Amino acid sequence: MINNSIINIGDNNINTITNNIDYDKISEELRILLDHYKDEIIKEALIYSKNKDKNKLISCLKKLSKEALEIIKHLSLTTLEKIIEQNLF
């Protein structure tokens, strides 16, 4: 998740103050995510995490965060539509 220019995956594995990145933890969480959701951006981020390519990893995680937000918006609207349909009929 991107929040106020800080990227958080799991339990604050990227700390922008000390600039330490727990690549192993990020890779682990990306693999779990990839098991449930096949996506090219996740695959790219996993490669950059394994290669410890900080800038490309952060760029991919930002893209992934935007994509996740769009999915959440879509699911929320779909759920809202179903609730409205149930209450109208």
The string of pLDDT tens digits covering residues 34-81 is 888 788 888 898 899 889 888 898 888 888 888 888 888 888 988 888
Query: Which distant-in-sequence residues (6+ apart) come within 8 Å of 76 by Cβ?
Result: none
Structure tokens given for 41? 């951006």
Query: Which distant-in-sequence residues (6+ apart) come within 8 Å of 10 by Cβ?
Result: 25, 26, 29
Residue pointed to by tokens 């149930």 = 86
pTM to 2 decimals?
0.58
